[in-house]
Homo-oligomer: A and B are copies of this chain.
Amino acid sequence: MNLIGTKWKPLVLFHLLDGGLRSGVLQKKILGISNKMFTQTVRELEKDRLIIRTVFPVVPPKVEYKLSQRGASLEPILRSLDKWGLDNYDN
């Protein structure tokens, strides 16, 4: 639970399931996340080797995030969580 048990981590991972995304694009997909929490979250996920951060030395800066093999192994769980959430949205 320490690796993925936060408010934002599962969401970040979920949005990377279909492929790597540029930083700004990924952040926009996570509705409601602040810039600070976004950076903090991806940093921790990178540290835990669940995602891979790639920096392209261009101007303007370009950074891409994608799931690591380890992160990808969470796919069944993330998909299940998503489905369960949709099925139980009535709350």
Q: Which residues of A contact B (CB under 8 A)?
A: 1, 3, 5-7, 10-11, 48, 70, 73-74, 76-77, 80-81, 84-85, 87-88, 91
Which residues of chain B are near A11, meaning CB under 8 Å? 1
Which residues of chain B are near A80, meaning CB under 8 Å? 76-77, 80
Contact partner of A5 (CB less than 8 A), chosen from B3, B7, B70, B77, is: B7
Q: How many copies of this chain does one complex carry?
A: 2
Distance of A1 Cα from B87 Cα, bound (Å):
13
A75 to B: closest C-beta gap in Å: 10
A51 to B: closest C-beta gap in Å: 14
A70 to B: closest C-beta gap in Å: 7
